[in-house]
Amino acid sequence: MSGFLRANASGNRAATNRIAIVLGLSLLLFTCPCRILRGSTGTVEKADRIEVRKAERVMSLLRDGKVLKTYKVALSRVPVGPKEREGDHKVPEGQYVVDVKNSRSRFHLALHLSYPNTADREHARKLGVRPGGNIEIHGLDSKLAWVGGLHRQVDWTDGCIAVTNSEIEEIWRPVSVGTPVEIRP
């Protein structure tokens, strides 16, 4: 009987080791930023468009109409409705472009958007208010980077679209200045 238990225990240990290896490799594959957006040649596929769907809290990078990758995002403290004025804490809705890539952002890395566009400025003028600005897709403040994906449990930005630091690093390479960004309700 003791021989059976020893054989069974070593068999269980081997099975446990195999499970640990599979889980470890799976974790590596699902968290490694280098796996993203690689084409068949191993080069990073450039995104030709970014689409944000506010109600779903998702952002997708696209190339030729095909989704390259989708990310869960956190939005502003007032996530419903388009930005209308400075200080309303809303994410804009409409057509924009990435106009600056800021590698020295307080929020790790940031893709600055061309808000306000002509329509936003005209709308704000009619309301007699300033449209605001400084809208970005960005990572987390270095002091809060440890929060990781948990940051998405609450909308916390001031009109921006936030992802984790590892995600913004992943997004950084395939997105160029001039990439169109559509933000939908």
Pairing of strands 58-63, 66-72: antiparallel
CA 117 to chain centre: 22
Residue 44: helix, strand or coil by DSSP?
strand
pLDDT digits (tens, 9 = 90+) for 23-78: 444 444 444 444 445 554 456 789 999 999 999 999 999 999 999 999 999 999 88
Q: Output 16 or 4, whichever has higher pLDDT.
A: 16
Find, among 33, 32, 59, 55, the residue nearest to 137 by Cα: 59
Confidence bin at 19 (pLDDT 50/70/90): low
* Cα angle: 155, vertex 45, 180; to 5 degrees: 50
pLDDT for 18: 56
pLDDT digits (tens, 9 = 90+) for 117-153: 999 999 999 999 999 999 999 999 988 888 889 889 8
Per-residue pLDDT at 163 exceeds 50: yes
